[in-house]
Structure 1
Amino acid sequence: MNKYLILCVDDEREVLDSVLQDIDCFEEYFLLEGAESVAEAKEIIADAQAEGTQLALILCDHIMPEQTGISFLIELYDDKLTTKAKKLLLTGQAGLEDTVEAINHASLDFYLAKPWNGDEIRDTVKNLLTQFIIENEPQPMPWAQALDTEKIFNAIAENRISFGE
C-alpha cells in the first residue's frame, strides 16, 4: 500500500531525525524518507517515481545551503509529476515575504514554525495526507484507518451521491 511518499527535507540531521520520529506513525501506510539537501530530495523523488511511488507530502525547511526550501517547493509545484503533492514549510527563519511567495507560487498548504509540537505536526500531516488521498486516490477506503476516517467516509459518500450510485 506504500505507493505514496512522505519526504522530509532539512539540512540539520538532528532536526530531520526529530521530524521523521514525530511522524513515523504514518510509515505503515506511506513510504517515509528524509533528505539533508534539495539535491538528495530530488534523487529520492526520482527514485520513487521510477518505482511508481508518487510524492504525497513534502515537509521542507526554508534555509538550506544550495537552494531555499521555498524555491524548491515552487519547483515541485511547477512540475506536473509533483504539483499535486501537499507542501508544508517547516522553518523558524522564513520571513513574511518568503512565506507569501511560497503561498502564491508554490501552493503552500501549511506553515509550521520551529520549534514545533509533536502532536501539532502529526495532526497537520494527517490532515494534509487526508486531503491528498481524497483528491488523488480513486479508492480512499483503505486509507481511512490511518488518516481522518470521518473526512474520508464523507468524501466517499459525496462521490456516491454525485455519481448517482
Structure 2
Amino acid sequence: MEKLNIICIDDQRDVLAAVQKDMLYFAPIAEIIECESTAEAEEIMEELFAEEKPIAMLICDHIMPGENGVDFLARLQQDGRFRNISSILLTGLATHQDTIEAINRAHISHYIEKPWKSEELINKIRILMTRFVIKSGRDFKDYMDFMDQNTLYNEMHERY
C-alpha cells in the first residue's frame, strides 16, 4: 500500500503540532507533512509531484504572513496538476465574506473554525480521504479502516 500525503500549512508551530497530534490516527496510511508557509508547501508539492507521490489533501490556515490560505488555494486551482486536491481551510479570524470567498475562489472542500474539535477534523479528513482513494483508483481495501463508510457507499453507488 502506498502512503498518501497530507500537507498541513500554518505559520504557528503550536497549531501545526495540534493538527499533527489529531492526525496521528492516519499515520498508518499517510505521511503528514508540516509547512510554515505557502511557499514551503508549494516547494514540497512540486517535489511530491515530480516523484509521482499522491497528495491526498491540504489543510491550510487562512491568515498567514505573505500569501494567505485562500489566495494560495485559489492559485492552486489554476494549476492543472493540483486543481483536484481537496482542501480544508482552518481559521479563527475569518468573516462571512472570507468564507464565501474561500468557497468561490479557492474551491475549498471544508471550512473549520479554530479552535476545532479533534473529532470534527478527523471526520472531515476521513470523508476527503475516502473520496481521494476512490477517485484515484486505489484499492480501497488497503485504506478501509480509515475511510468514512457512508462516503464510501455513496461514492461506490455513484460509480456502479
TM-score, with length taken from structure 2: 0.90
1:1-165 equivalence runs, <5 A? 1-152=1-152, 155-156=155-156, 159=159, 162=160
Summarize the Cα distance change of 1:95–1:150 in structure 2 as closer, same or farther, 3 Å threshold.
Answer: closer
Deviation, 1:138, is 4.7
Write the distance in 1 (CA, Å) between the matches of 2:157 and 2:14.
Answer: 42
Write the distance in 1 (CA, Å) between the matches of 2:149 and 2:95.
Answer: 35
Write the distance in 2 (CA, Å) between the matches of 1:103 and 1:155.
Answer: 22
Deviation, 1:110, is 0.6
Write the distance in 1 (CA, Å) between the matches of 2:137 and 2:53.
Answer: 13
Write the distance in 2 (CA, Å) between the matches of 1:158 and 1:68.
Answer: 35
- Give the unaligned 5+ runs of structure 2: none
Deviation, 1:113, is 0.3
Write the distance in 1 (CA, Å) between the matches of 2:23 and 2:100.
Answer: 26
Percent identity (aligned): 36
One-letter code aligned to 1:99: T
Deviation, 1:149, is 3.7
- Give the unaligned 5+ runs of structure 1: none
* CA offset digits 1:86-130 (Å, max 9, x no partner): 111001012122211111121111110000111111111111111
Number of paired residues?
160
One-letter code aligned to 1:101: E
Larger radius of gyration: 1
Deviation, 1:17, is 0.9
Deviation, 1:72, is 0.5
TM-score, with length taken from structure 1: 0.88
Write the distance in 2 (CA, Å) between the matches of 1:122 and 1:82.
Answer: 23
Tell me the C-alpha RMSD between the 2 structures. 1.8
* CA offset digits 1:31-76 (Å, max 9, x no partner): 2101011111111111111221122111100111110100001112
Summarize the Cα distance change of 1:44–1:93 in structure 2 as closer, same or farther, 3 Å threshold.
Answer: same
Write the distance in 2 (CA, Å) between the matches of 1:20 and 1:48.
Answer: 19
Q: Tell me if the contact between 2:9 and 2:35 (Cα under 8 Å) persists in the aligned partners.
A: yes
